[in-house]
Structure 1
Amino acid sequence: MKALPIGLKDLYYAKLLTDEQDGKTTYAPPKRLAGAINANLNPNATSTTIYVDDKPDETVTSQGLLEVELGIDTLEKVTAAEIFGYRIDNRGALMEGNSSNQPYIALGFRSETTDGGYKYYWLYKGKIEPPGEEFQTKGESVEIKTGSLKGSFISRKSDEEKKTTMHSNDPDADPEAILNWFKAVYEPDFTTSTTP
Structure 2
Amino acid sequence: MALAKLSKAHVAELLKDDGVVGYGTIRRLRGLVSLNMEVKETTELFHADNVVDDKYTKFEECTVTLVIKEMPLEDYRYLYNKTVDTDGLTVDKTDDEQSWKAFGFEGGIGKNDKRMVWLTKGYFEPISEEFKTEAGGVEVITQELQGTFIARATDNVWRKRADSTDTNMTPEKVETFFDTVAGIAPTPVTP
Q: Where does residue 26 of structure 1 map in the other structure?
A: 22
Q: Where does residue 187 of structure 2 map in the other structure?
A: none
State the TM-score, normalizing by the size of structure 2.
0.89
State the TM-score, normalizing by the size of structure 1.
0.87
Judging changes above 3 Å, is the alpha-carbon distance between structure 1 residues 115 and 169 closer, same or farther for their aligned structure 2 residues?
farther
Q: Where does residue 91 of structure 1 map in the other structure?
A: 87
Q: Give the structure with the higher percent strand.
A: 2
CA contact (8 A) 2:9 2:32 kept: yes
Judging changes above 3 Å, is the alpha-carbon distance between structure 1 residues 5 and 105 closer, same or farther for their aligned structure 2 residues?
same
CA contact (8 A) 2:82 2:96 kept: no
Give the distance between the partners of 1:29 and 1:165, measured in 2 at CA.
Answer: 20
Give the distance between the partners of 2:95 and 2:153, measured in 1 at CA.
Answer: 23
Alpha-carbon distance, 1:99 to partner: 5.2
Q: Where does residue 76 of structure 2 map in the other structure?
A: 80
| Cα root mean square deviation, aligned | 1.6
Out of 100, 104, 108, the residue aligned to residue 104 of structure 1 is 100
The farther-off stretch of 147-156 and 49-58 is 49-58
CA contact (8 A) 1:74 1:147 kept: yes
Give the distance between the partners of 2:46 and 2:62, measured in 1 at CA.
Answer: 25
Alpha-carbon distance, 1:58 to partner: 0.9
CA contact (8 A) 1:68 1:151 kept: yes
Alpha-carbon distance, 1:10 to partner: 0.8
Alpha-carbon distance, 1:140 to partner: 2.3
The percent of aligned pairs where both chains have the same amino acid is 27
Judging changes above 3 Å, is the alpha-carbon distance between structure 1 residues 121 and 156 closer, same or farther for their aligned structure 2 residues?
same
Q: Which runs of 5+ in 2 are unaligned?
A: 185-191
Alignment partner of 1:175 is 2:171: yes
Structure 1 segments, 4+ long, off by >3 Å, are: none
Alpha-carbon distance, 1:35 to partner: 1.4
Out of 115, 120, 124, the residue aligned to residue 128 of structure 1 is 124
Q: Per-residue CA shift, 1:113-160, capped at 9, x if unaligned?
A: 114200000000111112111222221223111111001111112211
Q: Residue type of the partner of 1:12?
A: H
Alpha-carbon distance, 1:11 to partner: 0.7
Task: Report SS of the residue matched to 1:70.
Answer: strand
Q: Per-residue CA shift, 1:53-78, capped at 9, x if unaligned?
A: 22111111111111110011122212
CA contact (8 A) 2:101 2:121 kept: yes
Task: Report SS of the residue matched to 2:177.
Answer: coil
Give the distance between the partners of 2:28 and 2:68, measured in 1 at CA.
Answer: 12
Alpha-carbon distance, 1:171 to partner: 1.7
Matches within 5 A, 1:1-196: 3-20=1-18, 23-98=19-94, 100-187=96-183
Q: Which runs of 5+ in 1 are unaligned?
A: 189-196
Task: Report SS of the residue matched to 1:160.
Answer: coil
How many residues of Structure 1 are paired with residues of Structure 2 in the alignment? 184
Task: Report SS of the residue matched to 1:131.
Answer: coil
